[in-house]
Structure 1
C-alpha cells in the first residue's frame, strides 16, 4: 500500500517458511497475485540465504547485488504542543540523511530539547520515545529568529544519528540510536494497527494543537506590529486591534476549535487592514499596480518567509 503498487506490478513472489509448502497456501497466493509463486528457492532456507547475501554486500564480498533496506516506521521530533513532526517517513530507503530548520517558541529562549520519536501517530506521546537531548547556549533573541538545524542520518546498518546545530554559533549536540533501540516486527504491526484504530481521534487532537499554535502566532505577530508601528496608527485602530487580541486569547483558553479559527481569521484580517492603512497614510493612497508588480517580482517578505524551511515556535521552552 505504501509503495502504491498493484498486484500486477509484482514481478515475483517468494514463499518463506515451511508452512508455505501447503497447497492451499500456494493456491491462495496464486489467486491473489495472479501468478505462480517462485519455487526456485527452498522456503526453509530463504531467510538464511538472504542474511548471507546481506552480510556479503555489507562486507564488500558481493558487489553485483543491490540490497535496499527501509525504515519500518516514521521517525520524527516532538514540536510545540506535543506534535510528532516527521523527519523520515516510514518505508524510506536507507541509508538516508534529512535536515530541517526549526526555531524557538519563546523570546530569549537559550536552549531547546530535541525529543526523537518513532511511530505513525500524530502526537509524540503516543509513539515510541527513542531518546532526547538538549542544545543550549543559543543567543537570546525574539522567538522565531534562531535557526536550529536538526539532522537525521541513518546508515546502512540502521543506526540513527540525530544532531541539532545552532546556525548562528555552530554549537551542536547529537545522539546516536542503534538498531537495537528499534522495534520487533510484532511491535511494528501493533503500532500500525493502533495508528489506524485511532486515526480519526488523533487527527482531531492534532488539528486542535495546530489551530492553537496558529492562533498564538497571530497574537504574537499582531502584538509585535502594534509595538513597532502603533504610534503611526490612530488610537481607535490600536484599541480595536487590542480588543481582537484579547478576544482571541480568551477563546484560546477553551477547546472550541471553530471559535478559535474564527477569532484567528478576524485578527489576521484586521492586521492586514492596519498594514494597508499605514501605506495609505504615507501619501494618502494605496500602492498602485506598479508597486504590486514590483513586490511580486522581488518576492515579498511574507512569501519568502512562507517558502523558507523554518518552522517557528515549534520547540517547547525548557
Structure 2
C-alpha cells in the first residue's frame, strides 16, 4: 500500500523529501522552505507570528538547556550561563578573539594555545560547534512541529568570508543536530537568490550585498553569469553591527547619569538591562523621532538625530569597506547593477539613505531583511531537491575526503557535496623531534574517527630534515579533477621534499553504500563528536605534558623547587586522566597546569627580553 503524506499545517500533499534552508545567525536564526502551494520561499513562523529564534543558549540546573526567546530573557538574570554570539567564535582560537573577549558576559576559556576556543559554564566546557548544534536542534524541532513532518536535510548559510575551518565547524554543528547538511552556501548568494537574481541563466550582473546584522558587517561583490554565482570580493568587520549601535546608546546613558565603570562591572544585571533597553530604542527610532523609558529612577531618552549622529562614524566605516570590496573586485560603483540589503540593522533609515547614495541605485529592501538569507537558502534547497530544473548543479563529491591526524581523527579537507573540479590545501606538522617521515593516510566518509571511514590510500613523505616537533611545515593538497580523480600531494615547505598519489574516490561505492555511510554519520553524530572532543583533549594533554617537561628540563635553574614540585604534581594528575578522565576533567586539569606554569613562563620571557635589550645573546633555553 502506498503512503501519502499530508502536511497538517498546510493541508498540502507532503513531498517525500523536505529540505529546509537555515540561516544560522549571530543574533537570530530561522528556517525557511518553498511553500508547496505558492512555490515561493517562506519563513516558518510560530503561532505568535515570529520566525526568528534568538541565537542564545542558556544552561540551567541539572544540565537543562534552553534556546531562543526563553534563553534571551535570562541574559539579565543569569549572564554567566547564557551564551550569545556563538557564530563569532566558530573556527576561532582564543588568540583570534582575545582583543574582544570582554564583549562576552560569560567565560571564554583561555587555554594559551592555538586550539579552537571553548566556553566554560561551571565545570563544563563547550565548543562553538556544540553550542551551535543546540541552536540548530531547536530550529529543527520547531520546523518539525510546524511542518508535522521529520526534517533531516538542510542547506545552511555562512558569511562569504568564512574560512574552511569555520565552514567545517558549521557542517559539524548541523550533523551533531541530526541534520544532513547538503550544502553550505554564502549568505550574499542566498540573499540574491531570494530576490530572484541569478535564476535567469541569461542574465549577467554585478551585485553588491550589504549585510549589517546584529553582530557583524560584510559587503560582498558577486558576479552572476549563466546561473553561476562567483564571489569576486568580500570585506567587512566581524565586530561591527547593531550590537555596537546599542553600545553607543548605552555609553550615552552611562555618561549622562554618571554610572561608574566599577558599578557596571559589578552589576551585570544593570549592564544587560541597559543593553536590552538600548536595543529597544534602536528599533523604536527606525520609525519614531524619540525614545523615552526608565530603569528604576534612571531616566532614559534618545532622539533620532542623536542616534544618527552616534552611528554616523560606523556607517562611514561600512562605506569605506564597500570602497575596498569594489577595488578588490576590480569594479567601480557604476559597474554594480543591483544592491541587496540584508540584516535587521539595515532597517535604519539613515543606513538605507547613505547606501543608496553611495551606489547611486535604488535598493532591494522589500523582503524582510532578517529573513532574506533563509529565504534564499530555501531556494537553494529546492534546487537540490530537484524541483527547479532550470538551474544546473555542477558535479559534486558524494562523501567527504580527508586525512588521518593524531588520535586517529578524520580531518576533512573536501566536505561532501563540494562542487568539482576543486582544490584544497592545508598545512600540518610533525609530532616528534627529529621525525624524518610522515605517513599520509587518505580516507572517505563522514565519521569523526578514521576507523569508521573508508581508507582510500596511504603513502609516506620521506626525507624530511631533522627538526624539532612542530617546526616542519607539510602542505597537503587535494585536487579533484572533472573526472572525479583525486590527486593527493604532500610537500615539506622548508626542504621542498614532495610526494604524490592518484586516487579514485568514488571507486567501488554503490549509491546504497554512500547512503549507509551518511546515515551512520547522522545516527552516531553525538557519540562521534564526544569521541573527537575526548581524543582532542587527550592529544592536547599529552602535547602539553611533553612541552612542559621539556621546558622545565631546559630552564630548571630559573625555577624554584616549589614551582617544579607543583608542576610535576599537576603533570602526574593530567597523565592519569589521559587514560580514564572525561573531556571536561582533562580540560579542567589542562587549565590548572597552564595556570601553574604561566607565571614562571612569563618571568623567563621577561628575563629573555631584558637580555636581548642589553645586547646579550639569548640562551638556547629560551
Give me the TM-score of the superposition, normalised by structure 2: 0.36
**The one of 495, 499, 504 aligned to 1:178:** 504
Deviation at 1:3, TM superposition (A): 7.1
1:46-85 Cα offsets, whole Å, 9 max, x none, are xxxxxxxxxxxxxxxxxxx976111111110011000000
What is the match of residue 408 of structure 2?
A: 82
Alignment match of 1:108 (pick from 434, 448, 451):
434
Q: Residues 94 and 283 (structure 1 numbering): CA distance in 2 closer, same or farther, change over 3 Å?
A: closer
Asked if structure 2 preserves the Cα contact closer than 8 Å seen for 1:113 and 1:132, the reply is yes
What's 2:464 paired with?
138
Task: Tell me whether 1:6 sits opposite 2:33 in the alignment.
Answer: yes
The answer to whether the 8 Å contact 2:436/2:462 transfers is yes
Other-structure match for 1:29: none
1:194 aligned residue? 520
Structure 1 residues 282, 91: CA separation in 2 closer, same or farther (over 3 Å shift)? closer
Pairing 1:1-318 to 2, within 5 Å after superposition: 1=19, 4=22, 6-7=33-34, 8=40, 68-178=394-504, 181=507, 183-278=509-604
Distance 1:230 1:119 in 2: 47
State whether residues 401 and 412 of structure 2, in contact with CA within 8 Å, keep that contact through their aligned partners in structure 1.
Answer: yes
Distance 1:244 1:279, change over 3 A: same
Cα drift, residue 224 of structure 1: 2.6
What secondary structure does 1:138 align onto? coil
> What is residue 11 of structure 2 aligned with on the other side?
none
Distance 1:279 1:142, change over 3 A: closer
Distance 1:281 1:145 in 2: 24
Q: What is residue 78 of structure 2 aligned with on the other side?
A: none
User: In terms of mean alpha carbon deviation, does 113-122 or 217-226 score higher?
Assistant: 217-226
Q: Pairwise CA RMSD of aligned residues? A: 3.0
Deviation at 1:129, TM superposition (A): 1.0
How far has the Cα of 1:91 moved from its partner? 1.0
**CA spacing shift, 1:182–1:236, aligned 2, 3 Å:** same
How many angstroms apart in 2 are the aligned matches of 1:132 and 1:283? 45
Q: How many Å separate the matches in 1 of 2:512 and 2:561?
A: 64
Q: What SS class does the counterpart of residue 496 from structure 2 fall into?
A: coil
Structure-1 separation of matches of 2:606 and 2:388: 75
Q: Indicate if the aligned counterparts of 1:111 and 1:138 stay in contact, CA closer than 8 A.
A: yes
* Number of residue-to-residue matches in the alignment: 238
2:562, 2:497 → 1: CA distance?
A: 46
8 Å CA contact retained: 2:444, 2:505: no
CA shift at 1:179, angstroms?
5.3
Please give the alpha-carbon distance, in whole angstroms, between the structure 2 residues aligned to 1:103 and 1:251: 26
Q: In structure 2, do the counterparts of structure 1 residues 172 and 187 end up closer, same or farther at CA, with 3 Å as the change threshold?
A: same
Higher relative contact order (CA 8 A, sep 6+): 1
Distance 1:175 1:237, change over 3 A: same
Unmatched tracts of structure 2, length 5 or more: 1-18, 23-31, 35-39, 42-192, 194-198, 201-381, 611-622
Q: Taking structure 1 as reference, are residues 124 and 282 closer, same or farther at Cα in structure 2, changes over 3 Å only? A: closer
Partner deviation per Cα, 1:13-50 (whole Å, 9 max, x = no partner): xxxxxxxxxxxxxxxxxxxx7xxx6899xxxxxxxxxx
Question: SS at 2:433's partner residue?
Answer: coil
The whole-number CA distance in structure 2 between the counterparts of 1:39 and 1:97 is: 28
After alignment, is 220-229 or 206-215 more displaced?
220-229
**1:110 touches 1:138 (CA, 8 Å); kept in 2?**
yes
Measure the CA separation in 1 of the matches of 2:388 and 2:557.
78
Structure 1 or 2: more strand by fraction: 2
- Change in Cα spacing, 1:179 to 1:74, as seen in structure 2 (3 Å) is closer
Measured after TM superposition, the shift of residue 2 of structure 1 is: 8.8
Alignment partners' CA distance in 2, 1:150 and 1:202 = 25
1:87 alignment partner, SS class: strand
Separation in 2 of the partners of 1:2 and 1:126?
28
User: Normalising by structure 1, what TM-score?
Assistant: 0.67
1:168 to 1:242, Cα distance in 2 relative to 1, 3 A: same
User: Is residue 21–residue 33 contact of structure 2 (8 Å, CA) maintained in 1?
Assistant: no
Where 2:424 maps in the other structure, the secondary structure is strand
What CA distance in whole angstroms lies between the structure 1 residues aligned with 2:441 and 2:479? 15
* Counterpart Cα distance in 2 of 1:84 and 1:94: 21
Deviations 1:74-108 (A, max 9, x none): 11001100000010111111111111110111122
Question: Helix, strand or coil: the match of 2:477?
Answer: strand
DSSP 3-state at the match of 1:187: helix
What secondary structure, in the 3-state scheme, does the structure 2 residue paired with 1:213 have? helix
